[in-house]
Every structure is written in structure tokens, then in C-alpha cells.
């Protein structure tokens, strides 16, 4: 589950991670009250107005603006709330902004320069250990840093049995070129950050930038936090943080009926039973010159009703030019699935306006093929993998 910046920062703060302070606002009036409250609390005269959407690169897209007085707070909040924010990480049409985070300005001048760092915590799947990934190149697009100057990205792996050792926090602070007070602050920051990561059952923390202020504080200025869905039963209080407006509506609907659906950019819809077969099917579609429009695992209990629901979901994606059904009948019987397809066709009628290629293999595959071939519907059946690929290619041209 992905969180908004303001929610992520609240979780960080609850574990003692120092953050740039902010208050979320749904309107210009709320933004002004928030700014006043922040001035009272921190003494800041300047504020930053930050669009809250589930995507990064907001600064580049005009979703993060500095306000030097309350009039600017009001006008910038008014301008950002309700805008359709386009960033390198949003779909091309952008995402609507429903709320802003009004923050204290933390880039004030002082005794030393400010510096921005990149720090993330994530699981290294190759070693099965959590790691801290960090760089002096904060505030930049980390993918670009990884591509052009990979030597500027450091990693520190944590032994799960021992936890983070104090020397590891010091090593991070050292490699970030810090000394004196900032060094001490960074070791505290890293230690609290890792504790927060483990105890919140997160799957990703990405803090870009972490700021060293001109008076040597270390603060999280941004926060991308993803909570591991499988751990949400342990964090009932986090459930309320879900913002369905940020999620793909087809994925939300699929989740409600217990289907595993992931929306993708391609043009060939697929309906498969089993995650492994679904991955192989996506490869098959690629090889046939197409691009999968989705990942959909209908699971081991693919009966007629589920098949129909799955069709309805896939057809909601306007990019779909063909649908490939690839079912291996082990527990599920192929003839049942075939019947589901025939029923779905009858019930959905004109809604099915793209060719369907069906490959059914396994228990009762022959009966299934007969059912489909004799149905008189615009369904191409295949038994071999390659045959299915060829038919997909034909269908999408
Ligand atoms: P992102 O663009 O979605 O990654 O949003 P960030 O939270 O990282 O903010 C984008 C940029 O806004 C940061 O890299 C900073 O340069 C700038 N910014 C954030 N907070 C402040 C602030 O308090 N003062 C000033 N002057 N700039 C800020
Ligand atoms: Mn950022």
C-alpha cells in the first residue's frame, strides 16, 4: 500500500525520525491556517506548498512551490489543489490533486550550506536482507544517478538477526561526507529510519531529499513509504491511510471480487490461472509482437462466473485489442472454463468487441475445444503455446 508524503512523514515521526514539519490542507483557507500554525510552532516565515499525489517528480511538474507570505500560501494552494499534475511518474494525462501539504521552509540560509542526500530502505531480494541505499546526489532523479554515476550510490546491508549496528550508521554518515554535529544527527536519523522501516512492516522507504540544513539538522523533506500489504493485519491503524482515489479503478474492483489484476500499458488482455503461467503468458504475448495490457490470475477456482467477471474487468481497459485466455486445467476443468467463456460471450454481447484467443490445456481440454468450436462465437481456440502466440499475432496485426 502506497502512502501520501504527509502520511509517510507521520509514520517516520512516530518512530523519532526528524522531518520537515507540515500540515495537510484541503483548501486555500485550510492552507493559510496551517501556515499560521506552523509559524507559531517553528518560527518559519516562508512555507512550501506540496501537492499530495501518489507519484514523485512533483517539483518538476509544478506541484511544489515556495510561498513567502500568507497571500502566496493562499494563491499557491488555490492553484495546486484541483490541478491535474503531470510529472515523469504520472500517466501522461497526470493525476488530480485533492490536497496539499503546507510545510515549514527548511532551506533557510545560515552558518553552513544546505546539502541534499538520497536515502532509501528496501529489501535486497538477491541476498534476502534489508539494505540502506544512499547517495550524496539527493534531490536528483536516482535512476539517472544509477545510470550515469553508479559509483555515487552506496548500499549497506543489515543482518536481520543482529539488526543495524551502530558502526553501520556511522559508516553511512561518513560516506555522505558529514562531520561534527551533522554527522551525529545523521547517525541518529539513520538508526531511527531503520527502526521505523522494520516496525512499520514497510516494503519501501525512499527519502529524497534528506536535507542537512544550514544549522546542521538532518530532516526528511520528502517521504515515499510503501507498507507491505501482507502485514496490514498487524497495523489496523494504517488501513485508514489508504486513498482509493490514487489507485487504478479496475484494480480496486478486481480486489473487491478477489481477483489478482495488475494494470499494464499494453494492448493484449490476458486471463490466466496461476501466477507462473500468467508470467509465461506475458512473455508469450511479447514474443508475438504484442504487449500485455494486464496481469490477471483468476486462480484455481476459475468457474464460469469468475471468467465472466474477469472478461468484464479486462474489457474496461480501452487499450485492449485482443484477449488471450490461457488456462491449464489441473484442479479446474477446462470444459467449465470453456462454458464460462461461452456464457460470458452471451451475457456481455456487444461489449466483447475484440478477438478472443483461447488456449485450454489439461483436464477435459478436448471437450472444451469442442464446446468453443461449436459455439459459433468469434473465439479462436488453440492447444499449443506457439499456436496461441501465432493467433495473437494475427489478431493484433
Ligand atoms: P518531488 O519533486 O515529488 O520529489 O517532491 P520533494 O518533496 O522532493 O520536493 C521537491 C523539491 O522541492 C525538493 O527537492 C526541494 O528542492 C524543494 N523543496 C522542498 N522543501 C523545500 C523547502 O522547505 N524550501 C525550499 N526552498 N525548497 C524546498
Ligand atoms: Mn522527492
Q: What is the DSSP string of 333-379?
A: -HHHHHHHHHHHHHHHGGG--S-EEEEEEETTHHHHHHHHHTTTSSE
What is the C-alpha to C-alpha distance for residues 247 and 230, in angstroms, rounded to an integer?
Answer: 18
Q: Are residues 271 and 239 in the same domain?
A: no
| Same-domain pairing of 55 and 176 | no
Say whether both 28 and 160 belong to one domain. no
Identify whether residues 221 and 259 lie together within a single domain. Answer: no
Question: Is 160 among the domain residues?
Answer: yes
Examine residue 101 and state whether it is found in any structural domain, yes or no.
Answer: yes
187 and 205 part of one domain: yes
Q: Give the pLDDT confidence of 62-98 residue by residue, as tens digits.
A: 999 999 999 999 999 999 999 999 999 998 999 999 9
Active-site hit among 194, 206, 261, 345: 206
Domain boundary among 247, 275, 295: 247
Ligand 1 geometric centre to CA of 177 (Å): 22
Position 324 in a domain: yes
Chosen domain end from 214, 247, 280: 247
**Is 5 noted as a catalytic residue in this protein?**
no
Q: Say if residue 86 is in the same domain as residue 126.
A: no
Residue 3 lies in a domain: no
Query: Which grid coordinates are listed for 205?
Result: 522507504
**Does ligand 1 come within 6 angstroms of the Cβ of 56?**
yes
CATH code for the domain of 264 = 3.40.50.261
Domain count of the fold of the chain? 3
Q: Is residue 126 part of a domain?
A: yes
* Chain segment 261-306, per-residue pLDDT in tens: 999 999 999 999 888 999 999 998 998 888 999 999 987 776 778 8
Last residue of a domain, one of 105, 138, 170: 105
Domain carrying residue 216: 109-247
Asked if residue 1 belongs to a domain, the reply is no
The answer as to whether 11 is a domain residue is no
What nine digits make up the cell of 167? 558502526
Spatial separation of the C-alpha atoms in residues 107 and 211, rounded to whole Å: 8
Same domain for 259 and 384, yes or no, is yes
- Distance from the alpha carbon of residue 224 to the mean position of ligand 2, in angstroms: 8
Pair 113, 242 in one domain: yes
> pLDDT 10s digit of each residue in the chain, 397 long?
999 999 999 999 999 999 999 999 999 999 999 999 999 999 999 999 999 999 999 999 999 999 999 999 999 999 999 999 999 999 899 999 999 999 999 999 999 999 999 999 999 999 999 999 999 999 888 999 999 999 999 999 999 999 999 999 999 999 999 999 999 999 999 999 999 999 999 999 999 999 999 999 999 999 999 999 999 999 999 999 999 999 999 999 998 888 989 999 999 999 998 889 999 999 989 988 889 999 999 877 767 788 889 999 999 999 999 999 998 888 888 888 888 888 888 888 888 889 999 998 999 999 998 998 888 888 888 888 888 888 888 888 7
Q: Find the catalytic residue in 6, 118, 134, 238.
A: 118
Indicate whether 58 belongs to any domain.
yes
3-state helix, strand, coil in the chain (%, to 5): 40, 25, 35
Number of Cβ within 10 Å of residue 30's Cβ equals 17
- Alpha carbon nearest to ligand 1 atom 10, residue: 59
Amino acid at each position: 500500500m502506497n502512502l501520501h508524503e504527509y502520511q509517510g512523514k507521520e509514520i517516520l515521526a512516530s518512530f523519532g525520525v526528524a522531518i520537515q514539519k507540515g500540515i495537510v490542507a484541503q483548501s486555500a483557507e485550510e492552507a493559510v491556517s496551517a501556515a499560521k500554525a506552523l509559524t507559531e510552532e517553528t518560527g518559519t516565515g516562508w512555507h512550501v506548498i506540496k501537492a499530495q499525489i501518489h507519484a514523485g517528480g512533483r517539483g518538476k511538474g509544478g506541484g511544489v512551490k515556495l510561498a513567502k507570505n500568507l497571500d502566496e500560501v493562499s494563491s499557491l494552494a488555490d492553484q495546486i489543489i484541483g490541478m491535474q499534475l503531470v510529472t515523469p511518474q504520472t500517466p501522461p494525462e497526470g493525476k488530480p490533486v485533492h490536497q496539499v501539504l503546507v510545510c515549514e521552509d527548511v532551506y533557510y540560509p545560515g552558518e553552513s550550506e544546505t546539502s541534499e542526500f538520497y536515502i532509501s530502505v528496501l529489501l535486497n531480494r538477491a541476498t534476502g536482507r534489508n539494505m540502506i541505499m544512499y547517495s550524496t546526489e539527493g534531490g536528483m532523479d536516482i535512476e539517472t544517478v544509477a545510470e550515469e554515476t553508479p559509483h555515487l550510490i552506496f548500499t549497506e546491508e543489515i543482518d536481520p538477526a543482529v539488526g543495524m549496528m551502530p558502526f553501520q550508521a556511522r559508516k553511512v554518515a561518513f560516506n555522505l561526507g558529514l562531520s561534527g554535529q551533522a554527522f551525529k544527527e545523521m547517525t541518529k536519523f539513520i538508526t531511527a529510519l531503520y527502526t521505523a522501516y522494520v516496525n512499520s512492516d514497510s516494503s519501501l522507504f525512499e527519502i529524497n531529499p534528506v536535507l542537512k540544513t544550514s544549522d546542521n539538522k538532518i530532516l526528511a523533506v520528502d517521504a515515499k513509504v510503501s507498507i507491505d500489504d501482507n502485514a496490514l493485519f498487524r497495523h489496523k491503524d494504517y488501513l485508514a491511510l489508504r486513498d482509493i482515489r490514487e489507485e487504478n479503478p479496475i484494480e480496486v474492483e478486481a480486489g473487491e471480487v478477489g481477483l489478482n489484476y495488475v494494470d499494464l500499458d499494453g494492448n493484449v488482455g490476458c486471463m490466466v490461472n496461476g501466477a507462473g503461467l500468467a508470467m509465461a503468458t506475458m512473455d508469450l504475448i511479447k514474443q508475438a509482437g504484442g504487449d500485455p495490457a494486464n496481469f490477471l490470475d483468476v486462480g484455481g477456482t476459475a468457474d464460469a462466473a469468475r471468467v465472466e467477471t474477469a472478461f468484464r474487468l479486462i474489457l474496461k481497459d480501452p487499450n485492449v485489442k485482443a484477449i488471450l485466455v490461457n488456462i491449464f486445467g489441473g484442479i479446474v476443468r477446462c470444459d467449465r472454463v470453456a462454458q464460462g467463456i461461452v456464457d460470458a460471450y452471451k451475457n456481455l454481447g456487444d461489449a466483447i468487441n475484440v478477438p478472443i484467443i483461447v488456449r485450454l490445456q489439461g483436464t477435459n481440454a478436448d471437450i472444451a475445444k469442442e464446446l468453443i468450436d461449436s459455439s459459433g462465437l468469434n473465439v479462436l481456440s488453440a492447444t499449443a503455446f506457439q499456436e496461441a502466440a501465432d493467433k495473437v499475432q494475427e489478431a493484433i496485426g
